[in-house]
Chain A
Amino acid sequence: MELGTLKHKVFIWTGWLSVCTALISFAVLNIFLLWGYNVPIGNNISFWVLLTLIFGGVAVFNKKSRSLGLWGLGLSIYLGFFMAVMFILGWTISPFP
Chain B
Amino acid sequence: MDRYEELIQKAKQDGMPKSPDGTKKLKRAINSSKWKLILSTLTILLLIVPTCYILTYMYYAFGTKSTTLMDVASKTLYITEPNSTLEELEFDMEFSLFSMSLSFEQYKQIGDEFYPAKNYDLQFMLNDLVKNEVTSHLEKIYPKYPTQTNQWLAHPNNRVEFNSDDEWRVLTGLPEETVVEAYISLSDLHQVDEVINEMKNVDVTWAAIYTGTEEKMVSDDGDLVSPIGYPVQSDQTYWSPFRDSTSHEETFLQMLKEIEPYEDIAVEVSYHKNLELAERIDYIEKNGFKTYGVVVTGPKAEIEKLKNLEMVRYLKIGEVKLWNWAR
Could you list which residues of chain A lie within 8 angstroms of chain B, going by C-beta atoms? 16, 19-20, 23, 26-27, 29-30, 33-34, 71, 75, 78-79, 82, 85-86, 89-90, 92-96
In the bound complex, what is the Cα–Cα distance between A85 and B182 (angstroms)?
50
B54 adjacent to chain A (CB < 8 Å): yes
In the bound complex, what is the Cα–Cα distance between A30 and B57 (angstroms)?
16
Residue of B nearest to A83 (CB): B50
Which B residues are in CB contact (< 8 Å) with A92?
61
B67 touches A23 (CB 8 A): no
In the bound complex, what is the Cα–Cα distance between A46 and B205 (angstroms)?
53
B53 touches A96 (CB 8 A): no
B54 touches A85 (CB 8 A): yes
Which A residues are in CB contact (< 8 Å) with B95?
93-94
- Pick the residue among B39, B42, B54, B67 that contacts A95 (CB under 8 A): B67
In the bound complex, what is the Cα–Cα distance between A75 and B60 (angstroms)?
25
In the bound complex, what is the Cα–Cα distance between A19 and B32 (angstroms)?
13
Which B residues are in CB contact (< 8 Å) with A90?
57
B114 adjacent to chain A (CB < 8 Å): no
Residue of B nearest to A30 (CB): B49
- Pick the residue among A16, A33, A79, A95 that contacts B53 (CB under 8 A): A33
- Pick the residue among A16, A29, A75, A85 that contacts B43 (CB under 8 A): A75
In the bound complex, what is the Cα–Cα distance between A93 and B86 (angstroms)?
20
A29 touches B60 (CB 8 A): no
In the bound complex, what is the Cα–Cα distance between A16 and B88 (angstroms)?
50
In the bound complex, what is the Cα–Cα distance between A90 and B56 (angstroms)?
11
B57 touches A23 (CB 8 A): no
* Interface pairs (15), CB distance under 8 Å: A19-B43, A20-B39, A23-B43, A26-B46, A33-B50, A75-B43, A82-B53, A82-B54, A85-B58, A86-B57, A89-B58, A89-B60, A93-B65, A96-B88, A96-B93
Q: Of A78, A79, A94, A95, which is in contact with the most chain B CB atoms at under 10 Å from its CB?
A: A94
A93 touches B61 (CB 8 A): yes
**A93-B65, A95-B67, A96-B93 are known contacts. Are A34 and B49 too (CB-CB below 8 A)?**
yes
Nearest Cβ on chain A to B73's Cβ, whole angstroms:
13
**A93-B67, A96-B91, A96-B93 are known contacts. Are A78 and B57 too (CB-CB below 8 A)?**
no
B60 touches A93 (CB 8 A): yes
B53 touches A78 (CB 8 A): no
- Pick the residue among A23, A33, A93 that contacts B49 (CB under 8 A): A33
B16 adjacent to chain A (CB < 8 Å): no
A30 touches B50 (CB 8 A): yes
Within 8 A of A (CB), among B17-76: 35, 39, 42-43, 46-47, 49-50, 53-54, 57-58, 60-61, 65-67, 70
